[in-house]
Amino acid sequence: MSLVVTRPGTQEGSPMSQPTPGPSAQTTSPQTPSTGLDVSAAFAEHGSALLGFAVNALRDRALAEDCVQETFLRAWRARASFDPARGGERTWLFAIERRVVLDVHRARQRAPLLVPDEHAPELAAPAADPLERLGIVEGLARLSDEHREVVVAVHLTGLSYQEFSDVSGVPVATLRTRCFYALRALRTHLDDGENLS
């Protein structure tokens, strides 16, 4: 059975809620009419973004899938506390997943490393703050596909706008404008994260 993942350009901070019918009609998954959490619809709407966050945060597809599963389990258990007035379903799910990923990330950091005597135990501190990286990865994952693609192509992969235009068929002007708004959305996400911390 195939699943068509629909994520119609939901953007960071968009007031659009997602009452997308999704594929729930063809499944028998639990639903709660009182809170509106439809696991199937929520997965169809946000599953890829949530998985993208976990995969790129942890660099482990299997572990990332476990995180997504755990995220939906926690959301399901906490569905009574979900208040759409305090933010969209996407924001709520990402908040849950952030904690799941952080738990796993920290647990993995505790993994003992077997090293030769001469290399133990005065280890240098990591060059980059891993929590900073998690925040950036989450921000990228929460962008719309179009926004993320151009940021990744230009600022991570290092393509010029013209090169990415040749590949994607999208005019350079459009890509530039798109990247501008993507970076703004990313900035909003990062600012919000710092305000929370």
Partner 1 sequence: MTDPTSEPAANPAGSESDRRAELIAAALASDLSPAEAVELDALRVVDPTVDDEIASLGGVVARLGPVGTWQDAPADAALRDRVESAVARDGSSDAAERAEPAAAAATDAQRAERADPSDRAEEAAVAAGAPAPLRGDASAPVVPLRPRRSRRVALTVLGAAACVAVGVGGGVLAATPRDAHVAGPPGTLGAVEHVAFAGEPSGVAVDGDLVAHTWGTETVLTVDGLPTGQAFSVVVVDDTGAEHESGAFLGTDVTIDCRMNAAVLREHVVAVEVRGADGVEIATASVPSVDA
d(CA 120, CA 113): 10
Among 86, 117, 169, 197, binds partner 1 (CB under 8 A): 117
Name the one residue in this structure whose structure tokens are 């906490």.
Answer: 78
Question: Residue 187 carries which side chain, given as an amino acid letter?
Answer: R
Q: Does 81 bind partner 1 (CB under 8 A)?
A: no
d(CA 31, CA 40): 9
Binding residues among 166-195 for partner 1 as defined by CB under 8 A: 173-174, 176-181, 183-184, 186-187, 190
Binding residues among 15-44 for partner 1 as defined by CB under 8 A: 16, 27-30, 39-40, 43-44
User: What residues are paired with 38 via a beta bridge?
Assistant: 31
Closest approach, Cβ 187 to partner 1, in A, equals 5
CB atoms within 10 A of CB 196: 9
55, 104 Cβ separation under 8 angstroms: no
Binding residues among 126-155 for partner 1 as defined by CB under 8 A: 128, 132-133, 136-137, 140, 144, 146-148, 151-152, 154-155
- Number of residues in the chain: 197
Choice between 44 and 94, CB closer to partner 1: 44
Rg (CA), the chain: 19
Binding residues among 47-66 for partner 1 as defined by CB under 8 A: 47-48, 50-52, 54-56, 59, 61-66
Among 70, 94, 98, 165, binds partner 1 (CB under 8 A): 70
Closest approach, Cβ 95 to partner 1, in A, equals 14
CA 25 vs. chain centroid, Å, equals 26
